[in-house]
A and B are shown apart, each in its own frame.
Chain A
Amino acid sequence: MLEHMLAGLVTALQWDMLLAMFVGVVGGVVVGVLPGLTSTMGVALLIPVTFGMPPAVGLAMLGGMYCASTYGGSITAILLNIPGTPSACVTMLDGHPMAKRGEASRAIAIATIASCVGGLLSNLCLLLLAPPLALFALKFGSLEYFLIALFGITIIASMSEKDLLKGLMSGILGFFLSMVGTHPLTGFQRFTFGQPALYDGISIVVALIGLYSVPEVIEMIRESRTGVRRVQSRVDRGLVSYMREYFQHKALAFRATVIGVIIGIAPGAGGSVAAFVAYHDAKRNSKHPELFGTGIVEGILAPETANNAEVGGALIPTITLAVPGSAVTAVFLGALMIHGLRPGPGLFTTHASVTYGFIFSMFLSNVVFVPVGLLIARYGARLIEAPVSLLAPSIIALSVIGSYAIQGSMEDVWIMLAMGLLGCALTKFGVPREGMVLGLVLGSMAEGELARALSLVHGDLGRLLLQMVTRPIALVILLLCIASLWHAIKTQRRAGRLAL
């Protein structure tokens, strides 16, 4: 194995590999920054470009795109309070308040370092632990996936510390939005009201753009009219200083990485779930949980470490078992096949130099996106100082084209605007939008996996409940759900806010 790894390292350091990786990284940061463009779209658009390339070079470019686009969404999330990618949704909670205080450079630097560290550590798992972790992935069944979704619901509860009832209701509304369209098993159309545009459901990206960008533009205009000035960016302290600050939270970074890798290994959950779970973990273990949401380092560090750690985790079942963990890894699987590489043990033997070359190029991608991202962010940070009269219509134009670009459909743009209306209403009534986002992300997974789990026990609910306590992984997740919910209720009662 060692000689294969060394061969892979030598491959990764060839000039064509480095160039392809760099192009992928630059493209990935741009894709991540722009709302409406996702990692999946970026990787899918790059595949035809890699047709004429040697497999290792093509994969290096795609890997660079994947890593960097996962990170790039944090830049827009921090600067504009609009998530560039779904997984950056959580980074906004503390990233944007920190930026509004005039510490945009600090927020972006922490997010960048966190993404780099999370990505590097998860690639280490990919390099050294892929086969045993793949076996672990096989132990996840429909019941475990349903319980992961349930755990997500309890996170909604714990994140809604200001008002538990409103938070839960927001999450349930998110679940309903995820059910618009076709039932995953029966194919029945629900909540479409005869509108063909809704037959395929509501895109998470379109919903995110609407929920966040439209209310943000409205707030921007209101602030400018009331004379509230957007805070100027202060002087940058330097990357080394921010790195020292990051490594003051080593334990948190490690936990976030583990969370990201495990959630990445479990197909279906994705980077946004990893980010939410890591944020929830950071808050629960913090001495000052009340500071989360005000712009603290831990609130950026945890989700960004986790969502980039999810990348390496998601690639483990993809390349070892041909089981894609998410839409982007499904596209990656297609790319592997196109380049004549069949996922499985053969990748680490017959095509070892290509596989290990790809893994080492992912290491390099996680390092290269640091200066690329910081450079793009340096100029992007000036955006928050641009006149609102130019910034506001620019964000709207970007939101419109971003929503349109997903499926080339104007109906998606109207859905984006409707989600914007919903986002404004939620903001006005003090309802957290994050609950709705999590419900939207987890809804179809929860329903689909519950239906499959029930069908496996022939509809016997008692047997299903028994499996929840007899299957080890299911039991662990169930206990985590109970602990999370109990913590949320206890916090609310202590604060005297759980008035039922």
Chain B
Amino acid sequence: MTSSRLGRDRLFAIGTLVVSLLLVTQSFRYPAESAQFPRFLSVLLLVLSAMLVIREMRAGSGAPPPAPGEQEPALASGRHSGLRGIAAGPEALVFVSTGLYILAIQWVGFLAGSVAFMLACAAFLGNRRWLAMAAWGLLFPVALYLLFHSLLGVQLPSGWLI
């Protein structure tokens, strides 16, 4: 096991231990008849978190030094890139831009906000085929608008534009 994966797993173990303690505390504040299941689950989560912490501490104490160029194995349903990958560019880009997009559609309306979002993202991600970008940036939001608003009758957010 590489040192970065070990650090990440320890961080997860400690994090879930903290979360489970918070859940235990919260669930014991609720009346008994509404809290039996959460109490049981929070204690179970606490036990599993503790087991994970112990396992990672044991793994850490016995871990061999990483071999040069050692690759981390792929996991069941996730991809990872070590502790360095946790604070990475793509995550920040997606979350910040999506957050701004959500605020924008409430302010200017779904269609205007979506067009602006699509064009801005495409340009930021390096697309320089301006005609294709403009066409897609306009057509896709319009198609979504027609599908959801006109065909399915969903009232989309409207702002001071459209």
Contact = CB atoms under 8 A, between A and B. Distances in A.
Specify whether A and B are partners: yes
A420 interface: yes
A293 B76 CA distance: 7
A410 B58 contact: no
A169 B20 CA distance: 10
Contacts of A106: none
A473 B74 CA distance: 40
Given A173-B45, A401-B110, A427 B80 contact: yes
Nearest to B93: A221
Nearest to A388: B125
A500 B125 contact: no
A426 to B, nearest CB: 7
B130 to A, nearest CB: 12
A165 B52 contact: yes
A190 B48 contact: no
Given A389-B125, A431-B78, A417 B86 contact: no
Given A218-B94, A393-B117, A430-B80, A410 B52 contact: no
B9 to A, nearest CB: 7
Interface string B123-143: 101110000110010001100
Interface in A307-365: none
A398 interface: yes
A396 B95 contact: no
A162 B41 contact: no
Given A45-B152, A410-B102, A410-B106, A165 B51 contact: yes
Contact of A221 (B45, B75, B94, B123): B94
A484 B36 CA distance: 26
Contacts of B141: 397
Main secondary structure of the interface of A (DSSP, over half): helix
Contact of A179 (B37, B121, B127, B144): B37
A401 B91 contact: no
A222 to B, nearest CB: 5
Nearest to A426: B78
A176 interface: yes
A392 B140 contact: no
Contacts of A408: 154-155
A427 B78 contact: yes
B96 to A, nearest CB: 11
B68 interface: no
Contacts of A225: 89-90
Interface residues of A, number: 70
Given A387-B127, A408-B154, A499-B58, A400 B52 contact: no
A161 interface: yes
Contact of B98 (A168, A214, A387): A214
Nearest to A173: B45
Given A218-B94, A390-B127, A428 B86 contact: yes
B66 interface: no
Interface string A401-440: 1001100101001100100110010111111111000000
Given A169-B45, A499-B59, A427 B152 contact: no
Contact of B23 (A176, A394, A405): A176
A426 B8 CA distance: 11
A396 B157 contact: no
A394 B59 contact: no
A468 to B, nearest CB: 17
B99 interface: yes
A404 B93 CA distance: 22
A404 B42 CA distance: 31
B33 to A, nearest CB: 6
Interface in B33-64: 33-38, 41-42, 44-45, 48-49, 51-52, 55, 58-59
A217 interface: yes
B69 interface: no
Given A404-B156, A417-B98, A426-B78, A393 B9 contact: no
Given A393-B122, A428-B86, A190 B34 contact: yes
A160 interface: yes
Contacts of A500: 51, 55
Interface string A478-500: 00000000000000000000011
A169 B125 CA distance: 36
B21 interface: no
A175 interface: yes
Nearest to A212: B77
A427 to B, nearest CB: 4
Contacts of B86: 428
Contact of B78 (A214, A420, A428): A428
A165 B52 CA distance: 7
Interface string B15-43: 01000000100110011011111100110
Contacts of B122: 389-390, 393
A388 B2 CA distance: 31
Contact of A397 (B38, B45, B114): B114
A168 B144 contact: no
B118 interface: yes
Interface in A213-255: 214, 217-219, 221-222, 224-225
Contacts of B95: 214, 417, 420-421
A450 interface: yes
A376 to B, nearest CB: 14
**Which 9 A-B pairs rank lowest in CB-CB distance, beginning with the nearest?**
A427-B78, A389-B127, A389-B125, A393-B121, A188-B34, A430-B75, A429-B12, A221-B90, A447-B37
20 contacts: A37-B152, A165-B48, A172-B41, A176-B23, A176-B42, A188-B30, A190-B30, A191-B38, A217-B94, A218-B90, A389-B121, A390-B118, A397-B141, A397-B144, A410-B157, A427-B78, A427-B80, A429-B9, A430-B76, A450-B37
Given A389-B133, A404-B157, A446-B37, 8 more contacts: A176-B41, A214-B95, A400-B102, A405-B148, A405-B154, A417-B95, A429-B11, A451-B37
